[in-house]
Structure 1
Amino acid sequence: MIQEKTVIPGLSTREAEKRINKVGLNELQHKKKISPIVIFLSQFNDFMVWVLLGATVISGIMGDTADAITIIIIVIVNAILGFIQEFRTEKSLEALKNLAAPTCKVFRDGRIKVLNSIYLTIGDVVVLEAGDRVPADGELFEASGIMVDESLLTGESVGVSKDSSSKKCNVFMGTTVLKGKGIFKVTRIGMDTEMGKIANLLDNIKDEKSPLKERLESLGKILVILCLVICGVVTVLGIIRGNDVTEMFLLGVSLAVAAIPEGLAAIVTVALALGVSRMLKRNALIRKLPAVETLGCTSIICSDKTGTLTQNKMTVKEVYINGRIVELEREKLKDYEFFRKALVYCNDCNYDFNEKYMERALHGDPTETALIKLFFEDVKDLEGYIGKAERVFDIPFDSTRKMMSVIIKESGKETCYVKGAPERLIEKCSFILEDDKVKPLTFQKRKRVAAFIEAMSSRALRCIAAAYKEEGLTKSEKLEQGLIFIGVAGSIDPPRLEARDAVLKCKLAGIRPIMITGDHKNTALAIAKSLNICNSEEQVIVGEELENISDKELDKRLDTTRVFARVSPDHKLRIVRGFKKKNNVVAMTGDGVNDAPAIKEADIGISMGLSGTDVTKEASSMILMDDNFATIVAAVEEGRVIYDNIRKFIRYLLSCNLGEVLTMFLASLFTLPNPLTPIQILFVNLATDGLPAIALGVDPADKDIMRETPREKKEGIFARGLAEKILVRGCLIGICTLLSFMISRFYGMNLVACRTIALATLVMSQLFHVFECRSERHSIFEIKLFTNMYLVGAVTVSIIMLCSILYVPFLQNVFHTIPLALNQWLIVLFFSGTIAMINSVYLFIKTK
């Protein structure tokens, strides 16, 4: 425990603000952000747009001014929609980067505060612990077994020990504390640090592209070539039939612009960014965009127990001393002074001022605070108690040793106190304290103590043992030999109320929840049973057993194992690799620095936002802001929703674009007049491609999305019949549009009327189809219309746009349309709605 007399006041808030204003923030210079103007202008940096604008200029010179102006307006409106998508994406991703900024513990106004590291300034006093990333350059003036990884600066992979007794013991921004603790004073910040000298290297790091986005960009290139060929054929056939060359050229370009899904990759990015924002609202912070896709494939979730599946609110329920369970009354516990000193002195809790309750409060690991509260209710009493003692040496807790030791000097006498996992600590004990007398720890006594610990663990109690010694106090790990066993405290950390429902949700979704914990086997089993993760002891593997079985044997056991108990972080890596070897997509949680390799190895590395170290967060794909297992399940659900929504608008865009191309191609093939003019084709693209597609990107989840098995990680975007759906529906849209055009001609309507009917049919076919695209498993009759008001709004806007060009006289002249009569609308609705209705009835019957 950091004692009050060792606390450095540090800077005052006012003084820190003055220095920040004078020397700036503690941040590295990055590439300049792209300005909104540049983003907007980049929307015009497209070959097809250039060609279209060039053709428009030619059209204007030849006297068709109205068409030329309208096309330019449509191009600008499309650019505005593209700008909104891209700008919103940039803002979302920037906000997420800021949220992921590292924090640090700093002394301000005489107490420890957790700050975003950019607000550090020269003269600040910072606390470092294992797993922290050093937030600035500075000089260590207090250190306890601290070792720092400086490979980022030096290239040396071996950790560097730091000794605060040396004249200059420096730490550097960006390096990582591997173990130990320390306090340093900031001497350099931002670009003045050693890291600042190599800041340009950071600017060369490229943002990760989603694999899905890369696949769609490749697909886009193929579609561009295909569309250009078809549009070229349409143009050439029109010219051969004697149509005006300029008109056919403009028609071909317009059709290419409408047919090529140039916004596909951009909409994917928007969908991912919006999904990430939704995840953040559910306390899951995505650090790497590709993780969003992978989340939907998750088949195994390996989760820590404490704080993730449980509430992380430890309370001591039982104490075993002198061979029996004793009463938990503070006055009576004072009789066991060695036990109290071991658990209070050998403790890393801090006491700090709580602004919410306007009083001093404990701050630290829940288990350690529970041990303190066993003996002290008031922080002032605690301060008075530990103020009489001085910590002269310590060996910090680590997950491999599972112990912590301190040497305390009290009234001129030094004593070593140790606490840790009972089975590890008892191995180091040669004696036992019974009735205030030190006696040999015989085999029978060991057996009796082990039986008590076993019984406590079976009641889901987390056991912490205490020991001490007064002789042979060498300041090394040999200190932890020949100890005197005192007793055991059993704490309980009840399961989270929402965890059981989250586990059930996992099982229904075909996902196996796996508990991984450092706790005793019985404790882990009791909690796992209460959460319905497992139901028998045969489904548990302990760390010692894990070390003694071969990979082949582990491979067999993984199919039935649901709990790993008493494991170290090193074991986690082996567990992850084992599950991945069996073609599972693995999500793994962790908080300590030693968890980083397993988190990096996992398909989805998940770090703890509240208790996680900077190293773990850097290695992870996702950060749990509330350290809650239910949040992981919520993130998996969101990952599935996002992927489903991407499939929805891919289905919609490609079906509609295929319908547009086929309409024109078949008309040319059958030597019919062009069913649509260039400006009408561009209007269809504007009215149907933009807003409805974006609205599909925020569609709520299917009600049974978490009752489907996880998809394969390597599954193509067109798997599960999507390609067939696109092909069939695209052909039907094209054929129905052409049929409406031909029927109109059959009834003797003029060309303008026929084209107007074809235009309305094409637009309405696509707007009906957008509702079909809301689900691959359910018909329109099963999907509630108003569960996506964005889509209802988008379709409404598209219909208003269509009616405007049909009934506003000025727009009629621009788009070459006529106002449709009731009988003409019947043709439109028959051809646009009948196919959608038949398809929905078929799907409804099929799913019943």
Structure 2
Amino acid sequence: MNERELESGLTQVEAERRLKKYGPNTIEKKKGISPVKIFFSQFNDFITWILIVATVISGFMGEKADAITILIIIIMNAILGFAQEFKTERSLETLKELASPTSRVLRNGKIKIINAQELVVGDVVFLESGDKVPADCILLSKGNFMVDESLLTGESEGVGKSNFGKNNSVYMGTIVIKGKGKAKVVQTGMKTEMGKIAGMLQNIEKDRSPLKEKLASLGKVLVVICIAICIIVTLTGVWRGQDKYEMFLVGVSLAVAAIPEGLAAIVTVALALGVSRMLKRNALVRKLPAVETLGCTSVICSDKTGTLTENKMTVKALYFNGKMHKADREVFPENMTMKKAFTYCNDFNFDIKKVHISEALMGDPTETALIKAFFKDGKTLKKFMDKAERIYDIPFDSDRKMMSVIMKEGSKKVCYVKGAPERVINRCKYILDRGEVKLFTSSEKNKALRAVENMTSDALRCIAGAYKDSGVAAGKSLENNLIFIGIAGIIDPPRKEAKDAVLKCKLAGIRPVMITGDHKNTAFAIGKELGICKTQSQVITGEELDKLSDRQLSSKIQQVSIFARVNPGHKLRIVKAFKAKDNIVAMTGDGVNDAPAVKEADIGICMGISGTDVTKEASSMILLDDNFTTIVAAVEEGRVIYDNIRKFIRYLLSCNLGEVLTMLLTSIFALETPLLPIQILMVNLATDGLPAIALGVDPPEGDIMKGRPRAKNESIFARGLSEKIIVRGALIGVCTVLAFVIGLYLGFGLETARTMALCTLIISQLIHVFECRSEKHSIFQINVFTNIYLLAAVATSIAMLLCTIYIPFLQMVFHTSPLIISQWFIVLFFSGIIAFMNSLYLYFKSNIA
């Protein structure tokens, strides 16, 4: 690799050429389930096989039309199931690809974030604490660098690395635990050390949703109940002298229609569709169970910078030589030592070809803001940087809250330091005052701290600078006996949309909590503006937190809205304290030290832009835009998904119950069989598939975020859902039987009465699907046009029904007869009367309330 490629990286054209030649940077893994296997798995059901065998037998017995039609219905059901499962598999695979590691790489002179599998030999990548090394590399940067190689060696101790000698290699899959710098890719994919032991790399697991597990268990119970009822119906018919084979086929058909075998599968479809919608709102869900928990969230603990604020930093004030200098022009008054401290002690990158400094700079917004305060263009910055060489650095970490570098300026070594003012000031023995080094007295320190108070009260984030030019050597004493230079005050305005998101949280019974490493005053000023808190008594610092026992913190936690000057260890305590009060906690994080708190939280959220690979691995969800509003949107989506799952559970179970009761009641009262086997299967095809799926994409009700979060252990049947299912299912069955009996009583004939029962059962279920769109509002209060998928599904089902009773060929197949207006009046009356009465009840109830 030549010097130019080290400076500006590979060109995109060259990278694409190498990718094509050597292949992607991936480890070979097992292939996913094939579409053919997914399709044939739809038939892997005991009841379905019995029906297929019975149908084949009926074909040999001469009932060929019935046999062929039943097989067609079975295949159509399988196609619907295949479409659902295939779409879900594809959605989940897409999410896995999106959740795969990314890398910061230098291409065409710019830092780009790309999928790690697109890396090629010769790429220059940027690594920092918390990153997973994306390929085998050699280090290019000087500095204090350490890697966890336990995945390869089994040794838990970190391994120190340098940019020279034998110890300059870092390997794919290992974790950077200390340091920051550049590295050159030397091997990718199966040629890496990891590739040589590829068996160690596991595939992404399929997350099992707790709700899906519960519904699968419920499904087994319902299977037993349904089969028992079907046996009763069959034996009763045989006892009354009806054909044994016909009654056996009735029983099996009823079992196929009544057993909600797709219940758990539809939950997965709903979750996958919801996850896809979340992705469009910049929230990438890594673990499906997190979707269920999102709707229960009662506390959102969020970082401030970049999440609640814009992360667009601008230096607004500088304090040096005992005076405050406001930003009344583009570049501040010259202070060469401060300029050196904030420029050299910095990890920015820049493109020298860009004229304007804003276009040239790349890197952390805080660091680039400091550069913009002193430079107008990239060329001037380049000349300034060329005057000194960095020979050692101690990267910033959240415990020290400082960063230090040793620069070689000619023959002299100088250490520059920047960090939190109180930390830097405590390590300073001297002060630089108008070019003269003096003793940093208590009065001068207090004056500097008052300057910090004033700036933070104006919502400015403060960074202090210091240096030392004697006794400079790597070691524990490097950051002691420093010379204080001054303080930069940086504004980071709140996001415009964050205030509305905070209000939305409060209306939804969710507590927004700000967690920041910034000064208490800065945090309070931003928090008050956003509506997170009202008084300083709601703010607590990390230092104050350390003085509280776990019991004291637990008693106080519900009154605290802002945690300032905290470290990652504090975050873990905060999460545990909120959880101890039975809160469902969402916690954001980005750094490697945030991972324990993110993992401990009920919903661990990692920043997609600034988050490290370790934190991403620990998280349940990744924010692709690092925006607080996206968290609130994800919580809202979590509530919507859970509501939609309740909707189609209500629909499926009440409809299936109605079908079972229709057959059971007629058996109990010794009536003719109201539906033939093929008609039962027709009901199943018309009502169970498309309408249920369409409910899974139902838009949220307007007041979805105006109620308190549900309890995490709440049953899916809570809040009266089980009663609604039983009552509505019973009424569907009773109304169908009444339509059938009236048809017989009025002398319409058995075939016409069965057709009336078929129409009543299907139409009553299709009306009920609109009732299921809301548990609080009537059909009259719901805009039916807000879910066009449901309208299309219902229209398709009605068209199928009309075809079966008005097309002569299908009349013979399904044993139906065309209905006249008076017969349709009976069907529509019994199909709609219960829904109409229930809607009137809900309408008056909501208006009285």
Same fold (TM over 0.5): yes
Q: Which residue does 1:787 correspond to in 2?
A: 786
Q: 1:131 to 1:272 in 2, by over 3 A?
A: same
* Contact persistence 1:393–1:406 (CA under 8 A): yes
- 1:34 Cα deviation after fit: 1.9
Secondary structure of the equivalent of 1:627? coil
Partner of 2:480: 481
- Contact 2:354 2:360 (C-alpha < 8 Å) held by counterparts: no
Q: Which residue type is aligned with residue 836 of structure 1?
A: A
Contact 1:31 1:203 in 2 (8 A): no
1:279 has 2:261 as partner: no
Indicate the residue corresponding to 2:610 in structure 1: 611
Alignment partners' CA distance in 1, 2:761 and 2:753: 12
Aligned-partner SS, 2:715: coil
Partner residue of 2:498?
A: 499
Judged with a 3 Å threshold, the aligned counterparts in structure 2 of structure 1 residues 828 and 31 are, in CA distance, closer, same or farther, namely same
Moved more, 654-663 or 173-182: 173-182
Q: Name 2:373's counterpart in structure 1.
A: 374
- Residue 156 of structure 1 and its aligned partner are, at CA, apart by 2.9
Q: Which residues of structure 1 form unaligned runs of 5+?
A: none
**Cα distance, 1:561 vs structure 2:** 0.2
Q: Distance in 1 between matches of 2:10 and 2:186?
A: 13
Helix, strand or coil at the partner of 2:702: coil
2:184 counterpart letter in structure 1: K
Letter paired with 1:694: I
Aligned to 1:595: 594
Which amino acid counterpart does residue 756 of structure 2 have in structure 1?
I
**1:180, 1:242 → 2: CA distance?**
85
| Aligned CA distance change for structure 1 residues 420 and 506 (closer, same or farther; 3 Å) | same
Letter in 1 for 2:750: L
Over 3 Å counting, the alpha-carbon distance change for 1:434 and 1:634 in structure 2 is same
Distance 1:360 1:845, change over 3 A: closer
Matching residue of 2:563: 564
Question: Contact between 2:661 and 2:733, CA under 8 Å: does it hold in 1?
Answer: yes
1:840 positional shift = 1.0
For residues 46-72 of structure 1, the C-alpha deviation after alignment (integer angstroms, 9 at most, x for no partner) is: 111111110101111111111101001
Could you tell me how far apart the structure 2 residues matched to 1:337 and 1:25 are? Answer: 48
Distance 1:152 1:292 in 2: 30
**Offset at 1:205?**
5.7
User: Match of 1:735?
Assistant: 734
Alignment of structure 1 residues 150-169 onto 2, 5 Å: 150-169=149-168
Alignment of 1:768-807 (within 5 A): 768-807=767-806
Return the offset for 1:777. Answer: 1.3
Partner residue in 2 for 1:66: 65
Note if 1:249 corresponds to 2:248: yes
Q: Does 1:365 align with 2:359?
A: no
**Could you tell which deviates more after superposition, 131-140 or 148-157?**
148-157
- Are 2:807 and 1:808 aligned? yes
User: Per the alignment, in what secondary structure is the counterpart of residue 325 of structure 1?
Assistant: strand
* Paired residue secondary structure (1:142): coil
TM-score (norm 2): 0.97
| Deviation of the 1:146 alpha carbon | 1.0
Q: Could you say which residue in structure 2 is the equivalent of 1:641?
A: 640
How far is the alpha carbon of 1:325 from its aligned partner?
A: 0.8
Q: State the alpha-carbon separation in 1 of the partners of residues 377 and 355 from structure 2.
A: 17
Residues 104, 126 of structure 2: 8 Å contact kept: yes
The alignment partner of 1:376 has SS state of coil
Shift of 1:331: 9.1
Distance 2:191 2:594 in 1: 32
The one-character-per-residue Cα deviations of 1:753-783 (angstroms, maximum 9, x if unpaired) are 1101111000011011000000111111111
More moved, 55-64 vs 5-14: 5-14
Moved more, 332-341 or 821-830: 332-341
For residues 625-664 of structure 1, what are the alpha-carbon distances to aligned partners after superposition, in whole Å with 9 as ceiling and x for unaligned? 1100000000000000000000000000000000000000
Equivalent residue of 2:351, what SS? strand
How far apart are 1:261 and its partner, in Å?
A: 0.7
Q: Kindly provide the CA deviation profile for residues 263-317 of structure 1, in whole angstroms up to 9, marking residues without a partner as x.
A: 1111111111110110011110111111110100000000000000000001111
What's the counterpart of residue 82 of structure 2? 83
Once the two structures are TM-superposed, the CA of residue 18 in structure 1 deviates from its matched residue by 3.4
8 Å CA contact 2:355, 2:378 repeated in 1: no
| Counterpart residue number, 1:659 | 658
Deviation at 1:836, TM superposition (A): 0.5
Q: How far has the Cα of 1:204 moved from its partner?
A: 6.3
The whole-number CA distance in structure 1 between the counterparts of 2:155 and 2:35 is: 42
Q: 1:478 is paired with a residue of what secondary structure?
A: coil
Structure 2 segments unaligned to the other structure (5+ residues): none
Q: What does residue range 393-542 of structure 1 map to in structure 2 within 5 Å? A: 393-542=392-541
Match of 1:267 in 2: 266
CA distance in 2, matches of 1:358, 1:115: 25
Amino acid at match of 1:323: G
Mean alpha-carbon deviation: is it higher for 51-60 or for 431-440? 431-440
| Partner amino acid, structure 1, of 2:582 | N
Instruction: Name the SS of the counterpart of 2:143 in structure 1.
Output: strand
| Structure 1 range deviating more: 680-689 or 128-137 | 128-137
Q: Separation in 2 of the partners of 1:599 and 1:354?
A: 40
Deviation at 1:198, TM superposition (A): 3.9
Tell me, what secondary structure is at the counterpart of 2:532?
coil
- Distance (Å, rounded) in 2 between the aligned partners of 1:340 and 1:357: 18
Residue of structure 1 equivalent to 2:830: 831
- 2:100 maps to which residue? 101
What is the letter of the counterpart of residue 136 of structure 1? A
Q: What does residue 713 of structure 2 align with?
A: 714
CA distance in 1, matches of 2:195, 2:45: 38
Task: Confirm or deny: 8 A CA contact 2:431 2:440 kept in the other structure.
Answer: yes
Match of 1:692?
A: 691
How many residues in Structure 1 have an aligned counterpart in Structure 2? 845
Q: Is the 8 A contact 1:667 1:675 kept in 2?
A: yes
- Higher mean C-alpha displacement, 321-330 vs 605-614: 321-330
Task: Check conservation: 1:112, 1:352, Cα contact below 8 A.
Answer: no
Q: Which residue of 1 aligns with 2:674?
A: 675
Say which SS state the counterpart of residue 144 (structure 1) adopts.
coil
Alignment partners' CA distance in 2, 1:263 and 1:201: 36
Deviation at 1:474, TM superposition (A): 1.6
Tell me which amino acid in the other structure corresponds to 1:527: I
Equivalent pair of 1:772/1:836 in contact (CA under 8 Å): yes
Q: Which moved more, 1:614-623 or 1:678-687?
A: 614-623
CA distance in 2, matches of 1:155, 1:286: 31
Q: Deviations over 1:316-366 (max 9, x none)?
A: 111111111125467984531111111111111100379999995101111
Over 3 Å counting, the alpha-carbon distance change for 1:844 and 1:253 in structure 2 is same
Q: CA deviation at 1:17?
A: 3.1
SS of 1:705's equivalent? Answer: coil
| Aligned position for 2:16 | 17
Report the CA distance between 1:430 and its aligned residue.
0.6
Cα pair 1:143 1:162 within 8 Å, conserved: no
Structure 2 CA distance for partners of 1:560 and 1:573, relative to 1, 3 Å: same
Q: CA RMSD in A?
A: 1.8
Looking at structure 1, the residues matched to 413 and 457 of structure 2 have their Cα atoms a distance apart, in angstroms, of 37
Q: Report the CA distance shift for 1:825/1:352 in structure 2 as closer, same or farther (over 3 A).
A: same
* Partner Cα separation in structure 2 for residue 233 and residue 680 of structure 1: 19
Identical columns (%): 65
Structure 1 range deviating more: 577-586 or 131-140:
131-140
- Offset at residue 518 of structure 1 (A): 0.2
Segment of structure 1 superposing worse, 838-847 or 166-175: 166-175
Does the CA-based 8 Å contact 2:142-2:391 persist in structure 1?
A: no
Once the 2 structures are TM-superposed, how far is the Cα of residue 700 of structure 1 from its aligned partner? 0.5
**For the residues of structure 2 that align with 1:534 and 1:562, how far apart are their CA atoms?**
6
Contact 1:134 1:174 in 2 (8 A): yes
Aligned residues of 2:589 and 2:605 also touching (Cα < 8 A): yes
Give me the whole-angstrom Cα distance separating, in 1, the residues matched to 2:648 and 2:201.
35
Distance 1:545 1:209, change over 3 A: same
Alignment-mate amino acid for residue 649 of structure 1: F
What is the deviation of 1:124? 2.8
Q: TM-score, normalised by structure 1?
A: 0.97
Amino acid at match of 1:222: V
CA-to-aligned-CA distance 1:439-459 (integer Å, 9 cap, x gap) = 111111111111111111011
Kindly indicate whether the alpha-carbon contact (under 8 Å) linking 2:147 and 2:161 is maintained by their aligned counterparts in 1: yes
Per the alignment, residue 626 of structure 1 pairs with 625
* Cα distance between partner residues in 2 of 1:628 and 1:155: 38
Deviations 1:527-554 (A, max 9, x none): 0000000000110110001111111110
Residues 265, 198 of structure 1: alpha-carbon distance in 2 compared, 3 angstrom cutoff: farther
